[in-house]
A = this chain, B = another copy of it.
């Protein structure tokens, strides 16, 4: 009221706006191709506030490339058979209303010119994907099998958010899940139960 109608956002709102803008741009073109002024403009505030609130472009990036807290880690007690599907969903969940930017993996990938990003990519993959998948395997080459399925998820992500490959880009979870389930079964050695359950169509084996 005392302010001249200009939205005098409070600290938190401004910070959040900057973070959202940063997430969006970093997920779109990566670290190097994004300037602090771009972010500030998108957020509708002055660029120096980035330094006030985050200290540096780098620290803003660190925060923006961390998965949003809304993302629960894989439910601990989930039925093992559901884990792959759950990870697939987590991978595809992006560009949806609610998520302010793209997938953190995309952001990291687009910024992989930076050593830190490659390291973070490595640890995020291993913590969020490989570790969870490995536990489902009871065969030789556990790690390799888990990494291969992780690679598929990663590749799907890249295809959709960066390469914009036509079929994968327009597919929704349900289109992909059946095939993904089969591959998971093959790689992890999980029984055909999953395939039966979650994969409606492909005339699989008979």
Contacts and interface: CB of A to CB of B under 8 A. Distances in A.
A132 B167 CA distance: 15
A103 interface: no
Interface in A176-206: 176, 179-180, 182-183, 186-187, 189, 201-205
Contact of A113 (B29, B147, B203, B205): B29
Contact of A125 (B31, B165, B175): B165
Given A179-B144, A179-B145, A162 B121 contact: yes
Interface of A is mostly: helix
- State which size class the interface on A falls in: 35 or more
A122 interface: yes
Interface in A136-177: 139-141, 143-148, 150-156, 158-159, 162-168, 171, 175-176
